[in-house]
Structure 1
Amino acid sequence: MSPLLMKKRHVRGIQVGTKNGCVEGFQIKCDRGPVNIFLGIPYADPPVGELRFKKTHPVSSWNGILECKKYQRRAPQIDHIWDKISIRIGTSEDCLYLNIIAPDWKSPPSQPNGFAVLFFIHGGGFLVDSAVRYHYSNLARMLAVHNIIIVTIQYRLGYLGFFSTNDNNCIGNFGLWDQVTALKWISENIVYFGGDPKRITVAGHSAGAASADLLSLSPYSRNLFNRLILMGGNAECPWAISPKEKVAECSKKKAEKLGWKGDNNYDMIRYLRTLPSEKFADEMINNEVITETASLPMTPIIDGDLLPASIHDLRQQVDVKRTIIGVCEYEALLFGNLDSSYRYLCC
């Protein structure tokens, strides 16, 4: 048997061979049967040092067995008070990991080529949140038991994820490039976890829903999956895409707050790469840009590459995917905590 197809039970856990190397997870019991859990699988090289403010670099292969039994650190962000209480996983620029929750029984006759796959992108205004919030035990109990493999991912957020100089020195959209890289890794490897790469549904809520919609339009990702679930967001939302000039202006203001003085973008990026990642962390609550303008400070942009044309034009170029679209009923209550944004709830 090919080592890529290796799937054995060991005292230490469950091992699966991938194209990059072997990973070891663990197994939990659910009403339907055993479910295999793999936490913190790297899909990209850490975006640190010279890789900060650059496109995602697919993960390098490793030797031996990589233990994947705990969540890895979240992208740098300023936690809400409730996150400080409930989430015990810290933050780090080295955050590009995904998690897989997979049934360990035979897929039903309706899925002869393996289990359907749900690839979930978390929301948080492109500023906060992580895959850690969606605990594997809940995903196993509520979704995996219905013959679904669930994948949750982490991606760069805020200034580290969407900083742009509106030129080749810093192109922006790094958080989206992370998502594309994670989706490609799943497309190439999910078969080894019992999944069907031709039955991948990309889902998300809020900014995650906008991201999912954008992935359905990008030439780099639109052929990697075939269905969509959009909850409380899409690419047409006014906050989903910002003008390149606006993001570049917000980026430069942030650089100046961090001590940069000058007009050369190349030197500015070199300077910013020397700073600790926590200097770039941002928040939703008490965010000045959100409270003053009802818009997000750092978002995707039409960059001419990942998103090569306007949303309207890209829609004309792609085949329509089967889509479920709806809202998150109580999400607006979060913004009631913002100093002045309550007025936008009444418009």
Structure 2
Amino acid sequence: MISRLVVIPCLFFASSAQILHLTGKISGFDYKTKKGFYAEVFLNIPYASAPLGELRFEAPSPGFPIMFWVHGGGYESGSAVAYGYKALADIYIPRDIIVVTIQYRLGVYGFFSTGDSRMPGNLGLFDMAEALKFIHANAEKFGGDPSRITVCGNSAGSAAAGQLILSPVTRDYIPRSIEMSGSAWASFAQGVAVANHSLGLAKVLGCHANIKECMKQKSVEEIYEGIRKVVSISNELRDPVSCLIINLYDSTMDGIWGLKWTPVIDGEFLQHPEVMTAAAPPKISLVGVTNKEAALIS
């Protein structure tokens, strides 16, 4: 016997702000035809907003546009919590825009890289990719349109937005971007010394053979202290003026970070700029700068 899948959408979706079923089950049943074939039948599957109230006699609504926001902070600090749901709701809900803010691994946890296949790096970018794929897959379930996702960000978030829209890992999920004060090819977004800092940290922590497994066994306190030593050694190798600038910057950016761990060209998420630019299809991007952003470190 042959089984066939029959999907019959025949019910509009009445949304609920209190309950969101992203991975709920739809019950179906088997039907045996007169000739002995079996069909798997699913009825009453919601596919659009219910045509009630203002939607009566209107064309079905495909869903709202989605702003996918990536926070900045040099890939080493910051949080989605800083923006607050109240301000975002006040600004974007009247404009019928869904806002998604994400968290991703920062600093050594998100961008540690040995520069080779042992630990290629860019875990923070892969976190963003998983969040993006999740939103794309479930957009319709919370009233969004997966074909209208705009990735946005400021500073490192802006650079990340550029990386997401260009990378072969994520570009098919994003039709447009808004990039404010940062690009995929900004010097701070391509860490040429990340491998040196990472290997230096591994050495300080006594991780020589299987670096990844060794790093997994280290406590947060051990890693934190190791970073302090790596930063201290790095600063001592600089000339006095550069060392002073770095120390001032570090004190502003919460002490020890100073942009030591950022994205790298790993051959998977990020390739050489010319290769990525040539391979990526044309997309719509709004690129600009953020007023007085440098006040953060001045």
Cα distance in 2 for residues equivalent to 1:106 and 1:226: 29
More helix by share: 2
Q: Which among 246, 254, 275 is matched to residue 201 of structure 2?
A: 254
Determine which of 74, 85, 91 is the counterpart of 1:136. 85
C-alpha separation in 2, matches of 1:7 and 1:276: 48
Question: C-alpha offsets along residues 221-275 of structure 1, whole Å, 9 cap, x if unaligned?
Answer: 00101110000101121111123xx211101222334x31x642x1x32221112
Q: Name which of 179, 202, 209 aligns with 2:151.
A: 202
Work out whether 1:326 is the aligned partner of 2:288. Answer: yes
Is the aligned partner of 1:274 residue 2:207?
no
292, 297, 301: which one pairs with 2:246?
A: 292
Select which of 8, 14, 18 maps to 1:14. Answer: 18
Secondary structure, aligned partner of 2:19? strand
Once the two structures are superposed, residues 182-232 of structure 1 have per-residue CA deviations (whole angstroms, 9 ceiling, x without a partner) of 000000001111000000000011001111101111111001011100001
Alignment of 1:145-156 (within 5 A): 145-156=94-105
State which of 311, 327, 336 in structure 1 corresponds to 2:273: 311
Q: Is the 8 A contact 1:7 1:15 kept in 2?
A: no
Deviates more, 1:312-321 or 1:121-130: 312-321
Name the residue aligned to 2:4. none
State the structure with more CA Rg. Answer: 2
Q: Tell me which amino acid in the other structure corresponds to 1:255.
A: A
Q: Post-superposition shift, 1:110?
A: 9.9
Gapped runs of 5+ residues in structure 1? Answer: 22-104, 337-347
* Residue 73 of structure 1: aligned partner: none
**Corresponding residue for residue 74 of structure 1:** none
What is the CA–CA distance in structure 1 between the aligned matches of 2:286 and 2:59, rounded to whole Å?
A: 21
Contact 2:202–2:208 (Cα < 8 Å) also in 1: no
Code of the aligned partner of 2:246? E
Other-structure match for 1:301: 264
Amino acid in structure 2 at the alignment position of 1:316: A
Hey, what's the Cα distance between the residues in 2 that align with 1:174 and 1:7?
38
AA paired with 2:294?
A
- The one-letter code of the counterpart of 1:144 is I
Whole-Å Cα distance in 2 between the matches of residues 255 and 229 of structure 1?
Answer: 37
Q: How does 1:178-189 map to 2 (within 5 A)?
A: 178-189=127-138
* TM-score, length-scaled by structure 2: 0.72
Instruction: Report sequence identity in percent.
Output: 35
Q: Deviations over 1:41-76 (max 9, x none)?
A: xxxxxxxxxxxxxxxxxxxxxxxxxxxxxxxxxxxx
Classify the secondary structure of the residue corresponding to 2:218. coil
For 1:335 and 1:239, locate their aligned partners in 2 and report how far apart those are by CA, in whole Å. 15
Distance (Å, rounded) in 2 between the aligned partners of 1:317 and 1:7 = 41
Residue 279 of structure 1: how far off its partner (Å): 4.7
Distance 1:279 1:142 in 2: 43
User: Aligned runs of 1:1-347 on 2, under 5 Å?
Assistant: 9=16, 14-19=18-23, 112-243=61-192, 246-257=193-204, 259-260=205-206, 263-264=208-209, 266=210, 268-277=211-220, 279-280=222-223, 291-292=245-246, 296-307=259-270, 309-336=271-298
Residue 238 (structure 2) aligns with = none
Q: CA RMSD in A?
A: 3.1
Contact conserved, 2:155 with 2:180, CA < 8 A, in 1? yes
Aligned residues: 239
Q: Distance in 1 between matches of 2:14 and 2:208?
A: 55
Give the superposition deviation at 1:296. 2.3
Shift of 1:112: 3.0
Unmatched segments (≥5 aa) in structure 2: 1-7, 26-52, 236-242, 250-257
Residue 330 of structure 1, CA deviation = 1.2
